[in-house]
């Protein structure tokens, strides 16, 4: 659906609440993953590597990557929506706030607990906001567009993108930890599993059959 169709579709209140909860939860999950110290996400590795090679700040490198990813939306025919805008506004802000509120882990057990919880919540809230069907953020849009164009399952497309991004980030000088590799391999299957339960069904999914005259 394009942005207009997303806004005209039914269950708007339900979907909007789900979108907001999903994005704020997603930002919180990112804070848990980063704070655990077990390993950054693949896109953080890429941003770190780009910043290292270019002299840009981490935030500037992150924003530049988001802009480049949006360019790839064009050949993939991916359409932005309200979720695209809210993703840019809410995820980073929520992650920053959560990072200040969540106590830093003091032991290895606490680190692993933060990481494990962050991994599950990362996949769940990613699926929750995508399931609201208001459009995706820049990086998730790359995934959903590739799924539509290639007709491959979500887990395979997501895992392929994560592995490629990690590899490029590592070549550029980004830091790859054990948690980075686990996240790259596990995120796709987890998001796909959660989407079965979080995607809001709409009438557009089952259009009425045409009647012959």
Every domain of the chain and the residues it spans: 36-100+107-199
89 pLDDT tier (thresholds 50, 70, 90): confident
The contacts of residue 138 (CB under 8 Å, 6+ apart) are 66, 67, 69, 70, 73, 84, 87, 88
Contact 17, 11 (CB under 8 A): no
173 pLDDT tier (thresholds 50, 70, 90): very high
Q: Look at residue 130 in the predicted model and tell me its pLDDT.
A: 96
CA angle 21, 22, 28 (to 5 degrees): 90
Q: How confident is the model over 65-85, as a mean pLDDT?
A: 90
pLDDT above 90 as % of the chain: 68
Who has greater pLDDT, 39 or 54?
54
Name the residue with tokens 């990112």. 30
Which of 88-92, 139-143, 178-182 is the least confident region?
A: 88-92
Q: Look at residue 213 in the predicted model and tell me its pLDDT.
A: 41
Q: What is the pTM of this model?
A: 0.87
């Amino acid at each position: 659906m394009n942005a207009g169709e997303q806004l005209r579709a039914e269950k708007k209140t339900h979907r909007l609440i789900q979108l907001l909860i999903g994005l704020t939860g997603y930002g919180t999950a990112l804070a848990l993953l980063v704070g655990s110290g077990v390993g950054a996400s693949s896109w953080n590795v890429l941003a770190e590597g780009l910043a290292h090679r270019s002299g840009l700040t981490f935030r500037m490198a992150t924003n530049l990557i988001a802009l480049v990813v949006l360019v790839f939306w064009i050949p993939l025919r991916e359409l932005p929506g309200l979720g695209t805008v809210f993703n840019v506004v809410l995820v980073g802000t929520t992650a920053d706030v959560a990072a200040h509120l969540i106590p830093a882990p003091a032991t290895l057990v606490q680190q692993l607990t933060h990481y494990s919880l962050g991994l599950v919540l990362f996949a769940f809230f990613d699926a929750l906001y995508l399931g609201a069907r208001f459009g995706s953020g820049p990086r998730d849009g790359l995934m959903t567009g590739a799924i539509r164009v290639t007709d491959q399952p979500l887990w395979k497309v997501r895992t392929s993108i994560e592995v490629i991004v990690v590899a490029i980030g590592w070549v550029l000088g980004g830091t790859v930890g054990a948690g980075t590799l686990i996240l790259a391999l596990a995120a796709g299957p987890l998001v796909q599993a959660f989407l079965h339960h979080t995607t809001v069904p709409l009438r557009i999914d089952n259009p009425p059959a045409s009647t012959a005259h």
